[in-house]
Amino acid sequence: MKRIISLVAAGILCLSLAACGGSGSPAGGQEGDDKLVVWTLAEDLKDFAAYYTEKTGVEVEVTVIAPADYPTKINTTLGSRNSDVDVIVGEPQMLADFYDAGFFADLSEFDAAAKDKLVNYVYEAGKDEDGVLRALSYQVTAGSVIHRRDLAKEVFGTDDPAAIGEKFGTFDAIRQTAAELDAAGYSIFGDTGALRWFANADSPWVKDGALQMTDARLDYFDTAVDLYQNEYVAFAPEWSPAWYASMAGPLPVNAGWAALEELDANAPTTQIFSYAMPSWGALIVRDNAADNKGNFGVAKGVCSFFGGGTFIGVNEFSANQEEVKKFVEFCTLNEETAQWWLEESDGDVVSMKSVLDANKDYENPSFGNQKTYEFFAGEASAVDYSLVTRYDTAIGDAFGRAIESVQKGEKDKETALNDFYMEVQSVYPELTVPQ
């Protein structure tokens, strides 16, 4: 029996863990300390802190907190107006609640520079509902369809990223591409959860107080069911051992979450053709590709998207706001810092437009010498941030559960959708849902 492959955005937590790294137990500095205290989800800020100290002589203490624990720790600590922490961060799905709680200080003095220097969606994500700038990011996390160039040549006769992009340009195209790959013995994705990035292809989940069920969203539903029921995916969920291993070569079909040593070496195998992920996913593929390194490319999908990212701000209650603002500016609005991070991180895509442009001709050896910075800069600039709402995670989770119920044969499509509408209405009674 196939393991059930999760479509829900609970996978976003795993994405956050992959993008942000380790954990720690926060210990704030004492009032009067000549240092900045940073609480973060991202190991990255340890590097930024060391670089800031090197350039300025100011000591920076960084505590990395596990993403699953971070919102609770921030709400508990800053809810009591704690001034021991200076720099706080958030991922996009956390920011609206943090802004509403009054934890992020006003950064309006950087508004003009941020609007001019940073990719637009980063600037937009850093503003609260009243348009006040409160957070900035040093990176963009634009999406792509990371794919196998060697398999593309074999099956489609070309590895041109533009041609591959057309094969993922619509949900109908994805279904056709999946069938072609299956006929050649390959799987289009590890699991159907890869499609979730395209759920907001043409509309936000909520607009003018109403849930939006568009034709594109119904196409997404049908495609997820089709790929699952026709066994066009490998049934190796994202973040599973087999999914990581697939970047280096063949894997057993239906591996699920099993450890590699538990898998039957004589079982039928497949190879995964593509991985729909934000730009940091390219680093995961690079680091797990082994001898396949260089056999990958990046292409457009159904829509331009982004996922995750670390947004930095100032604790509203910090007693040292001017120095803290200097640190935020140094990390996010300084060209020298952005170029340093692009090189230091060996692949992170920075948010500063001028630095992306200066590196647009870089040919990435891990991706067939494709100009990946140029690609991700284009996709980041195409992100429509108006499609993002504070409802996305909860509604996306519920929609994923509805799709799974049809994939497993537990419900028909009409029943699953009606149950989805009722669930959304229960969680958000203020919204109008389709009848």
Q: Is residue 285 part of a domain?
A: yes
Q: Is residue 434 part of a domain?
A: no
Q: Is residue 125's pLDDT more than 70?
A: yes
Q: Is residue 31 part of a domain?
A: yes
Q: Are residues 409 and 270 in the same domain?
A: yes
Q: Is residue 20's pLDDT more than 60?
A: no
Q: pLDDT exceeding 70 applies to what percent of the chain? A: 92
Q: Are residues 199 and 103 in the same domain?
A: no
Q: Is residue 96 part of a domain?
A: yes
Q: Is residue 63's pLDDT more than 60?
A: yes
pLDDT digits over 85-107, tens only? 999 999 999 999 999 999 999 99
Q: Are residues 211 and 122 in the same domain?
A: no
CATH of the domain at 170: 3.40.190.10
- From 321, 337, 359, the end of a domain falls on 359
Q: Are residues 116 and 252 in the same domain?
A: no
User: What is the DSSP code (8-state) at residue 136?
Assistant: E
Q: Is residue 137's pLDDT more than 70?
A: yes
Q: pLDDT exceeding 90 applies to what percent of the chain? A: 92
Q: Is residue 156's pLDDT more than 80?
A: yes
The pLDDT-based confidence of 435 (bands split at 50, 70, 90) is confident
Q: Is residue 209 part of a domain?
A: yes
pLDDT digits over 206-247, tens only? 999 999 999 999 999 999 999 999 999 999 999 999 999 999
The DSSP-derived string for 160-171 is -HHHHHHHTSSH
Q: Are residues 396 and 285 in the same domain?
A: yes
What is d(CA 124, CA 346) in angstroms, rounded to the nearest whole number? Answer: 26
Q: What integer is the mean pLDDT of 134-144?
A: 98
**Residue 305: partners with Cβ closer than 8 Å, 6 or more residues away:** 142, 143, 197, 198, 200, 278, 383
Q: What's the total number of domains in the chain? A: 2
Q: Is residue 142's pLDDT more than 70?
A: yes
Q: Is residue 87 part of a domain?
A: yes
Instruction: Provide the angle, in degrees to the nearest 10, between the axes of the packed helices 171-183 and 215-229.
Output: 10
Q: Are residues 319 and 244 in the same domain?
A: no
Q: Are residues 27 and 170 in the same domain?
A: no
Which domain, by its residues, includes 186?
143-303+389-427
Q: Are residues 182 and 124 in the same domain?
A: no
Q: Is residue 405 part of a domain?
A: yes
Q: Is residue 310's pLDDT more than 70?
A: yes
The pLDDT, as a whole number, for residue 34 is 75
**Residue 369 contacts residue 362 (beta carbons within 8 Å):** no
Q: Are residues 223 and 317 in the same domain?
A: no
What is d(CA 39, CA 296) in angstroms, rounded to the nearest whole number? Answer: 36
Q: Is residue 331 part of a domain?
A: yes
The pLDDT-based confidence of 33 (bands split at 50, 70, 90) is low
Q: Are residues 47 and 137 in the same domain?
A: yes
Q: Are residues 33 and 98 in the same domain?
A: yes
Q: Is residue 397's pLDDT more than 60?
A: yes
Q: Are residues 97 and 154 in the same domain?
A: no
Q: Is residue 6's pLDDT more than 50?
A: no
